[in-house]
Chain A
């Protein structure tokens, strides 16, 4: 079957191009991060040692490997600042994901129940802010949350508070910013699953005697679990490593891990330490990432 072999060759080429790209620009960089995390800082260009020199030959290789150490990891493990940063990031990510789920589910459910024509419009409305720059929208919140900003104006006008409280540089502001930015990421996968829900299943449950709330609990919720999982993972994992939102809206007392990496890298110019923090972050997130990949693959197979 010569023609089938020829087709195979063509297919192989189509795969190899993106494969090669991803290997070089995604996988290899990770290995480099790992390597740098085992190096020391140096006042040099690049600011780390040892540097792998092909020209140095076998000796160079030996010197290279002997120059690696787990110093940085030790540093991180012993300094409570780093540990606090990790904990805080996971904590904020977990809570905000929960809030996102609680807020996002009713919205997704409501949209899925509207007539089809309206649905398209509503989805566009929900997604539109996402197309506007994240930076802009966070900056907009800075505007509102300022001491003399809109929120306080409203609160003062309604006499809810006597003095304008500080919203910026607090964890609350971070939560507001995160929930605001990630809402589409929670609503869209939920909506996609809820929209596919077979109405006749709900009608069958009602026919068999279930009140409205029971139908939701026993039928709708379990059937939307894949959408919930996707939404939760799509939000939780990136939120852990968020930088822009906590940097602009939060305080500097307890930074999230994204800020820590940024400071280590751009502030202290300590590339190896930054790399070590990054490697540990990846290790922390590996489980949810793999769960997400499995879920994505399974969704692919199912269809």
Chain B
């Protein structure tokens, strides 16, 4: 819809205060980098990049200059005469990027730009993209299914469910302060404990893990049904019961351990049977282990580590 290829049923799209609906896609100050790159197979790299500039009717000298700048920016010097089928996947991606950047749009749309690249290349290109954006200065809107990519690259993330934007916020806020169970569960893993908000607004009664405490008062009436969300990496596992205090604490059994090298994912079961997930970094060597399968352990987390979700 932003690029102009779909018509909105309702609502408006405003760019700098101007409603884009009346503007056809070939006149919008918006450019798009397609998921399959959509490079013109009958034109070489330079002609592909020059295509958009030709439509603007720029002078040849200016076009050549901009192409040279762009080719250098995406590090494709010397490839100008090649046709798309003579390039590798990563090179084609850079041509597509160059082609859409060279017109200096107000907004650049990127449709899953890194999906076709292998893991290593993806990591490198992510940082290149961020640098590029800082250099050119216009807004990039990226669509991706890859959560870690979104978290790495974005200044703000918009989480969508079935066409609706559920939350728009910087990555840290999305992760630490999700506005709903859906967002909390969608981004990363989360443990949810349902219960009733206590009178003081900082304690939650009747959860599977007993009474839980949080540090920030949620915007809800005491007595309403709420959920306590705790991220797995915030859960501590110990063989001895932790000191009594404000810490949330519950007994459980280790059901399964997934060893990922840098971290281990512990799947546990607490007293009423509910599953809990904990992620512990393997700071010691191989010999040191927090707990083994079928062991009885204690789980705990500080009040600041959990938040209350009202929907």
* Residues of chain A whose beta carbon lies under 8 Å from any beta carbon of chain B: 1-4
Residue in A closest to B7 when the chains form the complex, CB atoms = A1
B7 CB contacts on chain A under 8 angstroms? 1, 4
What CA separation (Å) do A1 and B5 show in the bound complex?
Answer: 13
What CA separation (Å) do A156 and B49 show in the bound complex?
Answer: 72
Residue in A closest to B24 when the chains form the complex, CB atoms = A3
What CA separation (Å) do A4 and B22 show in the bound complex?
Answer: 9
What CA separation (Å) do A3 and B7 show in the bound complex?
Answer: 12
What CA separation (Å) do A1 and B8 show in the bound complex?
Answer: 12
A1 CB contacts on chain B under 8 angstroms? 7, 21-22
Once A and B bind, how many residue pairs between them come within 8 Å at the CB atom? 8
Q: Give the secondary structure class of A's interface.
A: helix
How would residues 18 to 42 of chain B score, 1 for a CB under 8 Å from any chain A CB and 0 otherwise? 0001111000000000000000000
List 4 additional contacts besides A1-B22, A3-B24; criterion CB under 8 Å.
Answer: A1-B7, A1-B21, A2-B22, A4-B24
B23 CB contacts on chain A under 8 angstroms? 3
B24 CB contacts on chain A under 8 angstroms? 3-4
Complex A-B: 8 CB contacts under 8 Å: A1-B7, A1-B21, A1-B22, A2-B22, A3-B23, A3-B24, A4-B7, A4-B24
What CA separation (Å) do A143 and B140 show in the bound complex?
Answer: 74
Q: Give the secondary structure class of B's interface.
A: loop
What CA separation (Å) do A3 and B22 show in the bound complex?
Answer: 8
How would residues 227 to 244 of chain B score, 1 for a CB under 8 Å from any chain A CB and 0 otherwise? 000000000000000000
Distance (Å) between the CB of A5 and the closest chain B CB? 11
Residue in B closest to A7 when the chains form the complex, CB atoms = B24
Distance (Å) between the CB of B72 and the closest chain A CB? 36
A2 CB contacts on chain B under 8 angstroms? 22
What CA separation (Å) do A246 and B115 show in the bound complex?
Answer: 62
Distance (Å) between the CB of B159 and the closest chain A CB? 30
Distance (Å) between the CB of B126 and the closest chain A CB? 34
B21 CB contacts on chain A under 8 angstroms? 1
Residue in A closest to B26 when the chains form the complex, CB atoms = A3
Residue in B closest to A3 when the chains form the complex, CB atoms = B24
What CA separation (Å) do A4 and B24 show in the bound complex?
Answer: 8
What CA separation (Å) do A18 and B199 show in the bound complex?
Answer: 78
Residue in A closest to B21 when the chains form the complex, CB atoms = A1
B22 CB contacts on chain A under 8 angstroms? 1-2
A4 CB contacts on chain B under 8 angstroms? 7, 24
Distance (Å) between the CB of A287 and the closest chain B CB? 42
Distance (Å) between the CB of A44 and the closest chain B CB? 60
What CA separation (Å) do A4 and B7 show in the bound complex?
Answer: 10
What CA separation (Å) do A2 and B21 show in the bound complex?
Answer: 10
Distance (Å) between the CB of A36 and the closest chain B CB? 51
Q: Which of B21-70 contact A (CB under 8 A)?
A: 21-24
Residue in B closest to A2 when the chains form the complex, CB atoms = B22
What CA separation (Å) do A3 and B5 show in the bound complex?
Answer: 12
Q: Lowest 8 A-B CB distances belong to which pairs?
A: A3-B24, A1-B21, A1-B22, A1-B7, A2-B22, A4-B24, A4-B7, A3-B23
What CA separation (Å) do A139 and B24 show in the bound complex?
Answer: 60
Most chain B CB within a 10 A radius of its CB, from A1, A2, A4 = A1
A3 CB contacts on chain B under 8 angstroms? 23-24
Q: Which of B204-222 contact A (CB under 8 A)?
A: none
What CA separation (Å) do A3 and B21 show in the bound complex?
Answer: 10
What CA separation (Å) do A191 and B24 show in the bound complex?
Answer: 43
Q: Which of B64-93 contact A (CB under 8 A)?
A: none
Most chain A CB within a 10 A radius of its CB, from B21, B23, B24 = B24
